[in-house]
Chains A and B, each alone.
Chain A
């Protein structure tokens, strides 16, 4: 099913929850609504579900306006952060509930519930009450209940936030796999950018009720259009360095800061030259230690955070500037060690500090 939001707004008195969001979701696409808590992403989802009525704007399913269609007639499945399994019903009764409401015959209810339960690996738990299940099992029941009525649209409201880290990883893969197999259009609300990056075909980044960007994960990562996206997408987050000035030096462009002076490729530098002070962005993985004899920017290790595969190293540059980079743990960097750093200038980003927009991508 195709879903389209047109100038969607939700206000409660003077409080703006969702501010003029427009986007289109293709049939069988997996879209994540990503943003910090309180940004309006769940409100948007609940409007798509029909629980909240939009203050203005339209919601279209397959080109048909559904603003006034109640949730029960929208043929959607929804998975909640709390799972919202009815505590007084068994797993079977929970999963059969949507079918019972549709007056599906008893034996067909049993057949369909059993089929979905087996697919989700919970076929042996049908007689239990939700309180007797682990978090992961409850999650599967919740997903099963959403799937059992063959919805045309699946809505997820932070479904993995209550699971432990390991289980979250497993369920992440499982949800993505099911969605691909069944080809059901899905909208997934999350504040976890790793979840959004790994699962979604496209990500809608929302901040303060406004749509910041709507693009594929790669595009958001490689070409962040705003300072917010640059800081929000990617883990560990991008280094953002204030007070950088880019000047033309013959055929070359130089990015100058009190702590360093970098040569920037012309196709990036030309957009930024003579724009005054800008913000330079560089991801930790695009910074490396300078080879011997190579001229790098000098600094001193401030903190080392071992991440296992890499060490996340915080380096203090002159002028009280701190930047993070990823180093090989075998180097055994210690606080206080003097280091020389090299930027991969092919990957630097530039932002206008006033508009907070990218100077490279529009």
Chain B
């Protein structure tokens, strides 16, 4: 038998090659894509769906069994309960909530004061301090500052509650009474102070690590040149170091804004949004309260999901603004490796 070798047209070969290249690329990206889809896109879509229903303890049932699907569900033996599709009514209720303005103000206050004072401000100060002292001492200091981050949240907050506890208890009272300060219930007197400090002390360690490694990677020659040029340490920090760590600064600002928007566990454990009505209640904590912890045991999952979904939208809007304002595209360099 004679083998027949047929020449394939060039464009077919080229098309096949480009198909193979994109398949290869997809194969490499698929684990991440799968994870992002499963743990981000699917939950967001579920959240959006639940926020459009009246799902609660009273109406408990499968939230997909609404409208015409209800009969199908029942014939299959799936519990439909009293779940109804309610359109945007959860959102109307949210925006007309009596406490909506207060919670919004609380959230903005909490996010921006913790961010500026601690997660970026204190982080920068700590990074500058620990890179200007003896290297090992700086390393040790940073390691100690990281401890609260690896302490379980509940224990960390219990310690703060003991610090700020009411008289005759409270570590703060023990220290301040001898110097003539009237003992008091510090946590009730200044709840915001403790909310911001507890979050900030832990939050600052992230920026501290990023900033100190950025500062240490600045070539020593720049610092020496600035010294010879006549700069004091403060002038070097202001005119050389800060401009050279601009990108880490912007990254930490962006990242921490988003994580502060979503964080609520310390506030939940410390004040649970109080004292009093919504004194320290922030957006993500409201979502939690509505959905999972109400006074009468009636968990309003649908309504809570609406709060959650608005927070997702706020987060996306912030991300877009940061990406635009800080021009993150310029950070992303073309890979040095040629096409696959």
Are the CB atoms of A80 and B224 closer together than 8 Å? yes
Give B241-256 as 1s and 0s: 1 = Cβ < 8 Å from A's Cβ atoms: 0011010000000000
- Supply 6 A–B pairs (Cβ within 8 Å), ascending by A: A50-B227, A71-B224, A72-B227, A76-B228, A88-B246, A101-B230
Most buried by A among B224, B225, B239, B243: B225
- In the bound complex, CA of A156 to CA of B125 (Å): 34
- In the bound complex, CA of A46 to CA of B335 (Å): 39
Whether, in the assembled complex, B235 has its beta carbon less than 8 Å from a beta carbon of chain A, the answer is: yes
Are the CB atoms of A77 and B228 closer together than 8 Å? yes
Are the CB atoms of B228 and A78 closer together than 8 Å? yes
Residues of A within 8 A of B243 (CB): 88
- In the bound complex, CA of A294 to CA of B224 (Å): 62
Residues of B within 8 A of A353 (CB): none
Are the CB atoms of B230 and A49 closer together than 8 Å? no
**Min C-beta distance of A204 to chain B, whole Å:** 21
**Min C-beta distance of A91 to chain B, whole Å:** 14
Instruction: Name A52's closest neighbour in chain B (CB-CB).
Output: B224
Are the CB atoms of B224 and A46 closer together than 8 Å? yes
Residues of B within 8 A of A86 (CB): 222, 225-226, 240
Whether, in the assembled complex, A87 has its beta carbon less than 8 Å from a beta carbon of chain B, the answer is: yes
Residues of B within 8 A of A78 (CB): 224-225, 228
Residues of B within 8 A of A80 (CB): 221, 224-225
Most buried by A among B221, B222, B229, B243: B229
- In the bound complex, CA of A46 to CA of B224 (Å): 9
Whether, in the assembled complex, A51 has its beta carbon less than 8 Å from a beta carbon of chain B, the answer is: yes
Out of B228, B231, B235, B240, which one reaches A49, CB within 8 Å? B228
Are the CB atoms of A84 and B230 closer together than 8 Å? no
Whether, in the assembled complex, B77 has its beta carbon less than 8 Å from a beta carbon of chain A, the answer is: no
A 45-89 contacts with B by CB, 8 A: 46, 49-51, 70-74, 76-78, 80-82, 84, 86-88
Q: Which 8 A-B pairs rank lowest in CB-CB distance, beginning with the nearest?
A: A84-B221, A84-B225, A72-B230, A98-B229, A101-B230, A71-B227, A88-B243, A78-B228
Are the CB atoms of B227 and A51 closer together than 8 Å? yes
**Min C-beta distance of B131 to chain A, whole Å:** 16
Whether, in the assembled complex, A149 has its beta carbon less than 8 Å from a beta carbon of chain B, the answer is: yes
- In the bound complex, CA of A86 to CA of B240 (Å): 7
Whether, in the assembled complex, A97 has its beta carbon less than 8 Å from a beta carbon of chain B, the answer is: yes
Whether, in the assembled complex, B180 has its beta carbon less than 8 Å from a beta carbon of chain A, the answer is: no
Are the CB atoms of B225 and A72 closer together than 8 Å? no
Instruction: Name A83's closest neighbour in chain B (CB-CB).
Output: B221
- In the bound complex, CA of A256 to CA of B227 (Å): 58
Residues of A within 8 A of B225 (CB): 78, 80, 84, 86
Whether, in the assembled complex, B232 has its beta carbon less than 8 Å from a beta carbon of chain A, the answer is: yes
Instruction: Name A46's closest neighbour in chain B (CB-CB).
Output: B224
- In the bound complex, CA of A51 to CA of B227 (Å): 8
Known contacts A70-B227, A149-B230; decide if A82 and B221 are in contact (CB<8 Å). Answer: yes
Out of B222, B230, B240, which one reaches A98, CB within 8 Å? B230
B 198-253 contacts with A by CB, 8 A: 219, 221-222, 224-232, 235, 239-240, 243-244, 246
Residues of A within 8 A of B219 (CB): 82, 84
Are the CB atoms of B224 and A49 closer together than 8 Å? yes
- In the bound complex, CA of A73 to CA of B229 (Å): 9
- In the bound complex, CA of A88 to CA of B241 (Å): 10
Are the CB atoms of A101 and B228 closer together than 8 Å? no
- In the bound complex, CA of A88 to CA of B235 (Å): 15
Are the CB atoms of B232 and A72 closer together than 8 Å? yes
Whether, in the assembled complex, A320 has its beta carbon less than 8 Å from a beta carbon of chain B, the answer is: no
- In the bound complex, CA of A51 to CA of B224 (Å): 7
Instruction: Name B242's closest neighbour in chain A (CB-CB).
Output: A88
Residues of B within 8 A of A149 (CB): 229-230
Whether, in the assembled complex, A145 has its beta carbon less than 8 Å from a beta carbon of chain B, the answer is: yes
Are the CB atoms of B232 and A84 closer together than 8 Å? no
Out of A74, A84, A88, which one reaches B224, CB within 8 Å? A84
Give B240-283 as 1s and 0s: 1 = Cβ < 8 Å from A's Cβ atoms: 10011010000000000000000000000000000000000000
Out of B222, B224, B231, B246, which one reaches A101, CB within 8 Å? B231
- In the bound complex, CA of A46 to CA of B223 (Å): 13
Are the CB atoms of A72 and B231 closer together than 8 Å? yes
Are the CB atoms of A84 and B222 closer together than 8 Å? yes
Whether, in the assembled complex, A170 has its beta carbon less than 8 Å from a beta carbon of chain B, the answer is: no
Instruction: Name A70's closest neighbour in chain B (CB-CB).
Output: B227
Are the CB atoms of B227 and A145 closer together than 8 Å? no
Whether, in the assembled complex, A14 has its beta carbon less than 8 Å from a beta carbon of chain B, the answer is: no
Q: A145-B229, A149-B229, A155-B228 are in contact. List 10 more A-B contacts (CB 8 A).
A: A46-B224, A49-B228, A70-B227, A80-B224, A84-B222, A84-B224, A84-B225, A88-B243, A97-B239, A101-B230
